[in-house]
């Protein structure tokens, strides 16, 4: 039986390749780059880099708009599935960007910067007349889906594009920072096991350099395992925190300045919760901590 072949071009050197179907990984016959089938560029390519850049600029808005919708699916149960769907949908756009970089190798950085400038110009125009939190919504979409997806594609331009995008974003919007993360890091964060009710508290204390057995965390854990668990809704609340707190902490790690974010959490909620525990006000502590979790869910997950 004749071996079926797939055709495409190497994203590193641009040379045409014929690869047996079914291979999960292979090397370019010309430059030796290690590739997988999803990284191949179309064989019938557009000849001019300018036409490729125009095509990328036309498709880039959909990359962030889809990511903004998928941001609602970043719990541990959904993230892997939605991330894969995002990669499959938008891989051709970034393959075209890689193709433009290969064709215009002598001005590769200019190609990337021009695409980034056009993308941010689209966002800035989109934000006009929208709610004040519109930049935050798109920032989280970029940090949780777009940047990790481009890095996951492992194109020749992936790392430079993400680093340049983040640098330009930080230059233009220093009050809305994001940090370059990877799918592996984010996926591990969303799935991380933690100590139920105390997870956000643990993250705050660790940011401050406090040990895992400090008096504050010990008090919260005793509250969780004792009084809260005996409440009629206690088990349900602990389960809810278990499902959403990893995603909240992961979002903070890539979308915020940790010192600032955790400082605000401490000042607004945790200091009061700890005082409540010290003075035996269990209902007040429960209400305050529940308000914290629901507020953070609305900010980062909804």
What does the pLDDT read at residue 206?
Answer: 87
What does the pLDDT read at residue 194?
Answer: 43
Q: SS in 3 state form for the chain?
A: CCCCEEEEECCCCCCEEEEECCCCCEECCCCCCEECHHHCECCCCCCCHHHHHHHHHHHHHHHHHHHHHHCCCCCCCCHHHHHHHHHHHHHHHHHHHHHHHHHCHHHHHHHHHHHHHHHHHHHHHHHCCCCCCHHHHHHHHHHHHHHHHHHHHCCCCHHHHHHHHHHHHHHHCCCCCCCCCCHHHHHHHHCCCCCHHHHHHHHHHHHCCCCCCCHHHHHHHHHHHHHHHHCCCHHHHHHHHHHHHHHHHHHHHHHCCHHHHHHHHHHHHHHHHHHHHHCCCHHHHHHHHHHHHHHHHHHHCC
Tens digit of each residue's pLDDT, the chain (302 residues): 567 888 888 877 777 888 888 888 899 888 888 888 887 877 765 456 788 888 899 999 999 988 877 765 566 567 888 899 899 999 999 998 998 998 888 899 999 999 999 999 999 999 988 777 778 888 888 998 999 999 999 999 999 999 999 999 999 998 888 889 899 888 877 665 544 456 788 889 988 999 988 999 999 989 988 999 899 999 998 888 877 888 888 888 888 888 889 999 999 999 999 999 999 999 999 999 999 989 998 888 77
What does the pLDDT read at residue 35?
Answer: 85
Tokens of 16: 């045409």
The domain locations on the chain are: 1-41, 46-187, 194-300
What does the pLDDT read at residue 44?
Answer: 63
């Amino acid at each position: 039986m004749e071996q079926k072949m797939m055709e495409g071009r190497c994203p590193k050197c641009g040379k045409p390749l014929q690869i047996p179907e079914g291979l999960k990984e292979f090397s370019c016959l010309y430059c030796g780059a290690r590739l997988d089938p999803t990284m191949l560029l179309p064989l019938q390519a557009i000849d001019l880099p300018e036409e490729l850049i125009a095509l990328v600029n036309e498709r880039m808005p959909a990359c962030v708009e889809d990511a903004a919708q998928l941001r609602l699916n970043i719990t541990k149960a959904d993230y892997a599935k939605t991330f894969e769907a995002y990669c499959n949908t938008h891989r051709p756009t970034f393959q075209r960007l890689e193709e433009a970089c290969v064709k215009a190798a002598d001005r590769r950085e200019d190609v990337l910067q021009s695409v980034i400038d056009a993308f941010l110009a689209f966002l800035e125009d989109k934000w006009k007349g929208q709610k004040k939190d519109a930049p935050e919504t798109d920032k989280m979409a970029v940090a949780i889906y777009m940047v990790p997806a481009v890095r996951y594609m492992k194109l020749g331009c992936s790392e430079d594009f993400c680093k340049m995008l983040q640098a330009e974003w930080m230059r233009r919007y220093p009050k809305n920072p994001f940090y370059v993360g990877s799918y592996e890091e984010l996926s591990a964060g969303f799935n991380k096991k933690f100590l139920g009710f105390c997870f956000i508290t643990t993250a705050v204390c660790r940011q401050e350099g406090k040990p895992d057995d400090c008096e504050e965390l010990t008090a919260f854990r005793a509250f969780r395992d004792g009084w809260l668990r005996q409440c009629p809704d206690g088990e349900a609340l602990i389960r809810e925190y278990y499902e959403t707190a990893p995603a909240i902490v992961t979002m903070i790690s890539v979308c915020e300045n940790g010192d600032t974010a955790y400082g605000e959490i401490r000042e607004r909620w945790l200091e009061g919760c700890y005082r409540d525990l010290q003075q035996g006000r269990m209902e007040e502590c429960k209400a305050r901590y529940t308000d914290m979790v629901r507020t953070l869910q609305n900010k980062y997950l909804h």
